[in-house]
Amino acid sequence: MKVGVIGTGYVGLVTGACLSTIGHTVVCMDNNTAKVEGLRQGVMPIYEPGLDELVAAAVAAGRLQFTTGMAETVQDSDVVFITVGTPSRADGSPDLSAVRAVARSIGSHLDGRFRVIVNKSTVPVGSGNWVRMLVEDGANLVAATARSGQHAGNGLAVLAPAAPPNFSVASNPEFLREGSAVWDTFNPDRIVIGAEDARAVEVMRRLYAHWVSPADTDTQAVPMVVTDLASAEMIKYAANAFLATKISFINEIANICERVGADVTRIAEAIGLDKRIGRSFLNAGAGWGGSCFPKDVSALVSTAAEYGYNCELLKATLSVNEHQRQLVIEKLQRELRILKGRTVALWGLAFKPHTDDIRCAPALAVAEHLLNLGCRVVAHDPVVTAAQVQGQLPDLQVAGSALEAVQGADALLVMTEWPEYGGIDPQTVAAVLRQPIVIDARNCLDTQAVQGAGLRYVGVGR
Ligand code: UDX
């Protein structure tokens, strides 16, 4: 099938690369010329394991192209994905200006051939109808311009579309995680399609046949959940809100554990063995960050408020998460007493390992707080660069190696559980730290090895 993908952020690029890998012909469009130019030369705008190889192979096979042209993207495609950003505004509601502009523009390029316009950006519940309206507006505008042009006898006026726009809107939320986005796309737990009509469902079933009805009879078919538009949109929010709540739950349990002398890692292990609970997303720590959980939980709370519902549980999910960062500072304060004038080594800036994404990263929030309290903060991250944090935190120093960051520091604070930090010999850390204090805000270091090196170990909930 021919697929157009509008917006080459995380979701768009990964979706385009994976769909072309399974045999579709994909055009990825972005209005950022430099980004498109880079992609044409194999430069990925994001750090995502496996993505560059996938893109290179699909481009070489002639199944993936990058463009800045909206007209060719829409006109050549059977399915057009909207995968533009929906960042949070100050009040927590999502900024939908990019979706609005793209939907209108798609409408202005439609003709009589049937297309499915798929919303993959995370938009508030009810947006499917709104996207339909915008696409129609875009199409009507072209028709009206053409009519008025003809009426005025203006030879330069655009041509009227040959037939009324023929499209259906679908919602196809993604559940991919940064750092394992390619793996997640190839190994989905389910494919969710919200559709207006059976025509769209049929097209989407063909698009995802590789997973939904695999040709290889030994391969397990992935369940496809077909719903109305609003339910599909709600599934995405509910999934993220549930996972965020699960983490805030275990963080709250961790805080109780610290008071009663229990170990939250053992609690997570034991309750996780209950199939109704499950072990994943039960790692206590400095709380969740990233581009999805903070934005989506806040957006759900704000949508509910618009409809007159007060989300008490989700508000608690947000406030436990906020508090979790504060607790890291309190732990440091307990160990060092006065923070002003101290040097803190901070390992890990990304919001989680295997990504260079620092959006809503707990590490940056904690670093900012420490800088405001008069600390010198020397950070290290295996992939986040000094240039990335410069604009946000100009006073944050970024060291070239994990050990360099620790040199002469009053305490080591681990904020992201990059596997390589666990591989650093605590003896070498102990040899260069000014004071023997390690705050492991991700419970990722070997407690006994750290203590064995004569360091004081402070974890979360243990
Ligand atoms: C998430 C969802 O998992 C994904 O399905 C959705 O499409 C987008 O949002 P992502 O933001 O990439 O993906 O990261 P994820 O791995 O889910 O982690 C989110 C945050 O939760 C990270 O800050 C991580 O450190 C934190 N986390 C995760 C915990 O603190 N404890 C855990 O047990 C798991």
**Could you report the per-residue pLDDT of 42-74, keeping only the tens digit for each?**
999 988 889 999 999 999 999 999 999 999 999
Q: Are 264 and 254 in contact (CB under 8 A)?
A: yes
How far is ligand 1, taken at its centre, from the CA of residue 290, in Å?
Answer: 7
Q: Are 51 and 59 in contact (CB under 8 A)?
A: no
Q: Are 79 and 203 in contact (CB under 8 A)?
A: yes
238 within a domain of the structure (yes/no): no
Q: Where are the beta strands (DSSP E) in 241-386?
A: 343-347, 376-380
How far is ligand 1, taken at its centre, from the CA of residue 107, in Å?
Answer: 35
Q: Does the beta carbon of 240 sit less than 6 angstroms from any atom of ligand 1?
A: yes
How far is ligand 1, taken at its centre, from the CA of residue 404, in Å?
Answer: 29
**Which ligand 1 atom is at minimum distance from the Cα of 362?**
23
Evaluate if residue 381 carries a pLDDT over 50: yes
Q: 122 pLDDT band (50/70/90 cuts)?
A: confident
Same domain, 217 and 277: no
Structure tokens at 254: 């961790």
Q: 247 pLDDT band (50/70/90 cuts)?
A: very high
**Which ligand 1 atom is at minimum distance from the Cα of 287?**
30
Evaluate if residue 150 carries a pLDDT over 90: no
If one residue of 177, 300, 366 were mutated to test the ligand 1 pocket, choosing by the most ligand atoms within 8 A of its CB, it would be: 177
Q: 126 pLDDT band (50/70/90 cuts)?
A: confident
Q: 88 pLDDT band (50/70/90 cuts)?
A: confident
* pLDDT value of position 162: 53
Structure tokens at 207: 């698009």
φ, ψ for residue 269, nearest 5 deg: -60, -45
**Which ligand 1 atom is at minimum distance from the Cα of 289?**
23
ipTM above 0.90, yes or no: yes
Q: Does the beta carbon of 352 sit less than 6 angstroms from any atom of ligand 1?
A: yes
Q: Where are the alpha helices (DSSP H) in 337-398?
A: 362-372, 386-390
Q: Are 76 and 4 in contact (CB under 8 A)?
A: yes
Instruction: Please give the mean pLDDT across all residues of the chain.
Output: 94
247 within a domain of the structure (yes/no): no
**Which ligand 1 atom is at minimum distance from the Cα of 177?**
12
Q: Does the beta carbon of 176 sit less than 6 angstroms from any atom of ligand 1?
A: yes
Same domain, 23 and 168: yes
* pLDDT value of position 233: 96
Phi-psi region of 353 (alpha: psi -120 to 50; beta: other; left: phi over 0): beta
Q: Does the beta carbon of 290 sit less than 6 angstroms from any atom of ligand 1?
A: yes
Residues involved in catalysis: 292
Q: Does the beta carbon of 175 sit less than 6 angstroms from any atom of ligand 1?
A: yes
Residues paired with residue 6 on neighbouring β-strands, in sequence order = 29, 82
Share of the chain above pLDDT 70, in %: 97
How far is ligand 1, taken at its centre, from the CA of residue 244, in Å?
Answer: 8
254 within a domain of the structure (yes/no): no
CA atoms within 13 A on the CB side of 58: 29
* pLDDT value of position 157: 46
253 within a domain of the structure (yes/no): no
φ, ψ for residue 223, nearest 5 deg: -60, 135
232 within a domain of the structure (yes/no): no
Q: Does the beta carbon of 289 sit less than 6 angstroms from any atom of ligand 1?
A: yes
Structural domain of residue 22, as residue ranges?
Answer: 2-227
Q: How far apart are CA 321 and CA 333, in angstroms?
A: 19
How far is ligand 1, taken at its centre, from the CA of residue 319, in Å?
Answer: 17
Phi-psi region of 294 (alpha: psi -120 to 50; beta: other; left: phi over 0): alpha
How far is ligand 1, taken at its centre, from the CA of residue 288, in Å?
Answer: 7
235 within a domain of the structure (yes/no): no
* pLDDT value of position 127: 92
Same domain, 77 and 221: yes
If one residue of 120, 235, 243 were mutated to test the ligand 1 pocket, choosing by the most ligand atoms within 8 A of its CB, it would be: 243
User: Domain count of the chain?
Assistant: 2
Beta strand 191-195 with 167-171 is antiparallel
418 within a domain of the structure (yes/no): yes
Strand, helix or coil at 181? helix
Q: Does the beta carbon of 281 sit less than 6 angstroms from any atom of ligand 1?
A: yes
* pLDDT value of position 51: 95
Same domain, 223 and 265: no
* pLDDT value of position 160: 53
Q: 147 pLDDT band (50/70/90 cuts)?
A: confident
Q: Does the beta carbon of 359 sit less than 6 angstroms from any atom of ligand 1?
A: no
**Feature table: binding site for substrate:** 175-178, 236, 281-285, 289, 352
* pLDDT value of position 156: 44
Same domain, 115 and 184: yes
How far is ligand 1, taken at its centre, from the CA of residue 243, in Å?
Answer: 8
Q: How far apart are CA 321 and CA 247, in angstroms?
A: 8
Same domain, 213 and 291: no
* pLDDT value of position 152: 41
* pLDDT value of position 153: 43
**Which ligand 1 atom is at minimum distance from the Cα of 416?**
25
**Feature table: binding site for NAD(+):** 30, 35, 86, 122, 178, 295, 359
Q: Does the beta carbon of 297 sit less than 6 angstroms from any atom of ligand 1?
A: no
Evaluate if residue 75 carries a pLDDT over 90: yes
Same domain, 208 and 266: no
Q: Does the beta carbon of 364 sit less than 6 angstroms from any atom of ligand 1?
A: no
φ, ψ for residue 274, nearest 5 deg: -75, 115
**Which ligand 1 atom is at minimum distance from the Cα of 283?**
33
Q: 218 pLDDT band (50/70/90 cuts)?
A: confident
Same domain, 6 and 145: yes
Short-list 172, 164, 166, CA closest to 119: 172
Q: Pick the last residue of a domain from 210, 227, 244.
A: 227
Same domain, 272 and 223: no
What torsion, rounded to 10 degrees, do the Cα atoms 453, 455, 460, 462 define? 70
> Which domain CATH number covers 273?
3.40.50.720
* pLDDT value of position 383: 94
What is the residue with the minimal CA distance to atom 25 of ligand 1? 352
* pLDDT value of position 143: 76
User: In which residue are the tokens 């983490």 written?
Assistant: 247
pLDDT digits (tens, 9 = 90+) for 275-329: 999 999 999 999 999 989 999 999 999 999 999 999 999 999 999 999 999 999 9
φ, ψ for residue 117, nearest 5 deg: -105, 115
Same domain, 222 and 283: no
Same domain, 210 and 274: no
Amino acid 389 reads V
249 within a domain of the structure (yes/no): no
Same domain, 273 and 140: no
